[in-house]
Amino acid sequence: MPITGKGFPFEIPFLDWLDFRMQEAEIGHSSFSLEMQPHHLNSYGMAHGGLVLTMLDISLAMAARSMEVPARGPDMPGMLTVELKTSFMRPAYGKKIRAEGHCIHRTRTLAFCEGEVYDGEGKLAARATGTFKYPRLSKEEK
């Protein structure tokens, strides 16, 4: 599987701008971190909620995508977020925060995932559950 300079198996300019760094991707699991920069913060000096939500969306989608790679290969299209429910438990402070994603169940067309974001001290900052759709293969890909 081709890997970008930041460890992801595909290019997403938004992720490059945020400077996400993939640490681990295995079947049903993903983990990545982010070195906090001034543009990641809200007016209180903590990770912006939109950043935390994006980290959860990407980590869950990567976990779901990893379940499909053996079946369709590394060049499969990305995941489509159907639903994402997020609970913010505490502010995410620190120089480095990380996200974990886990695919807990999948069907032929959907993946059900959960994940967490941890602050710089390793404390749970946010948690999410999500449903993701595997895009249909085109006639040429079948």
* 108 in Cβ contact with 63 (< 8 Å): no
CATH 3.30.70.260 describes domain 14-92+108-133: no
pLDDT by 10s per residue, the chain, length 142: 444 445 566 677 888 888 887 666 678 999 989 999 999 999 999 999 999 999 999 999 989 988 875 555 555 667 899 999 999 999 999 999 999 999 999 998 999 999 999 999 999 999 999 999 998 766 555 5
Nearest to 64 by CA among 116, 107, 115, 112: 112
Distance CA 24, CA 119 (A): 18
Sorted by where each begins, the domain ranges of the chain are 14-92+108-133
